[in-house]
Amino acid sequence: MYTISREVWLPKPRDEVFEFFSDARNLQVLTPKWLDFKVVTEGEIELKPGALIDYKLRVRFLPIRWTTEIVAFDPPHSFIDNQAKGPYKRWYHTHTFEEEDGGTLCRDHVEYAVPGGALAHWLFVKRDVKRIFDYRREKLVEMFGADTRTQFSNKKPAE
């Protein structure tokens, strides 16, 4: 079992940020183009426990189908999606949203397991998962604004 955790502070109200995440189709915006990721569920997708969302993507040119199930939904605080069918042995993704410093602290925490074990993880998966979540952070900052709280944290105060 592996984990990845990321967080980003966005200078927008939690309700606005959560509303964006509540639209399952916005995941396409937050996914790198090299994955050719598409939501294929037809019609309106209401995020709620039991909702199933179907995707297709390409990983190293291999077409993959993926279905996630929303297992918890607590607006505007959090939601959890779990892989029902897809490329991982396990994918359990917790999204949390906290009001902080006049904005929203968004956290992603994923527990996952891969076919092929440690070798496959080391050779392929670990780097790809990191790149996906780094891209996600960059897109969120581009869309909602930079984390101004830490912009100058590496500089000494002016004397």
Average pLDDT over residues 149-154: 47
CATH number for 14:
3.30.530.20
Q: Which of 22, 69, 17, 66 is nearest to 44 (CA)?
A: 22
CA distance 82 to 2: 15
User: What band does 156 get if pLDDT is binned at 50, 70 and 90?
Assistant: very low
Residue 157 domain-assigned (yes or no): no
What was the pLDDT predicted at 157?
38
CA proximity to 54, closest of 70, 42, 66? 66
Query: Does residue 105 lie in a domain region?
Result: yes
Residue 44: which residues within 8 A CB-CB, separation 6 or more? none
pTM for this predicted structure? 0.88
137, part of any domain: yes
Q: Is residue 152 part of a domain?
A: no
Residue 152 has pLDDT above 50, yes or no: no
Is 159 inside a domain boundary? no
For residue 111, pLDDT over 90 is answered with yes
The answer to whether residue 121 scores a pLDDT higher than 90 is yes
Do the domain assignments include residue 73? yes
Residue 119, number of CB atoms within 10 A of its CB: 9
Considering its fold, how many domains does the chain have in total? 1
Provide the domain limits for residue 96: 2-144
The answer to whether residue 122 sits within a structural domain is yes
Mean pLDDT (the chain, rounded)? 91
44 within some domain: yes
